[in-house]
Amino acid sequence: DTEVTQTPKHLVMGMTNKKSLKCEQHMGHRAMYWYKQKAKKPPELMFVYSYEKLSINESVPSRFSPECPNSSLLNLHLHALQPEDSALYLCASSQDASGGSYNEQFFGPGTRLTVL
Amino acid sequence: AQKITQTQPGMFVQEKEAVTLDCTYDTSDPSYGLFWYKQPSSGEMIFLIYQGSYDQQNATEGRYSLNFQKARKSANLVISASQLGDSAMYFCAMREIGGGTSYGKLTFGQGTILTVHP
């Protein structure tokens, strides 16, 4: 199984809502990532989890809250978002995140988020 | 700091012809990996091909090959025998490996939109 799944595929939310994005992989990978991607732009790294611990937070606003309950699952909790947060949110996983390995990142299909 | 440059915002190619997508990079780390990803309009990022900085030979994967010129710091993607399904956005990305705290961080170029005409 070389698949990363993400739910939901589409999400529309108001600025006062609380919602969560879910990502799952069963490849035994120990590194998981959240990216934000605006239309026709490259993905921007938000968070990296390595062995279920947050190892990188790219100065993401606190209205985005990541969570890694176990090695297969990654959540992104959303609260009080702004319209400019509307984007495609991609999850990825790789064998590990440490230096010295060449492993590629496998990406999920993404969640298209619209904030009204 | 690492940097990836893709100078072609858009490229057009006739079906069954070959096309080269350009990518140049800049890094001070002698140990790095270069990746190409394809992103169709559906949004999923699909891994295509990988080249390590110490690999002696150019990487190939089916119709994809990577023209790696280390001295020029370029890693161009060559797609042979283009198909209509190749129409997509293509991203070049780099990951520095030598530093122990790289944490798998990928740096992406701005992307090239490839359109294949019948």
Between B23 and B42, name the one with better pLDDT: B23
**Cβ contact (<8 Å) for B44 and A107?**
yes
pLDDT in tens, B102-113: 556 888 999 999
Q: Give the pLDDT band of residue B97 (cuts 50, 70, 90).
A: confident
Q: What is the C-alpha separation between B58 and A11, in angstroms, rounded?
A: 42
Helix (H, G, I), strand (E, B) or coil at B7: coil
| Any A CB within 8 A of B50 CB | yes
**Cβ contact (<8 Å) for A45 and B103?**
no
pLDDT value at residue B93: 94
Nearest to B104 among A31, A42, A108 (CB): A31
**Residue A82 in this model has a pLDDT that exceeds 80:** yes
**Cβ contact (<8 Å) for B50 and A96?**
no
β-bridge partners, B21: B77
pLDDT in tens, A10-59: 999 998 889 999 999 999 999 999 999 999 999 999 999 999 999 889 99
**Residue B100 in this model has a pLDDT that exceeds 60:** no
Helix then strand then coil, in percent of chain B rounded to 5, is 5, 50, 45
State residue B88 phi and psi, 5-degree precision.
180, 180
- Residue percentage of chain B with pLDDT more than 90: 75
| Any A CB within 8 A of B45 CB | yes
**Residue pairs spanning A and B at CB distance below 8 A:** 75
Q: What angle do CA B50, B104, A89 make, to 5 degrees?
A: 95
pLDDT in tens, B68-89: 999 999 999 999 999 999 999 9
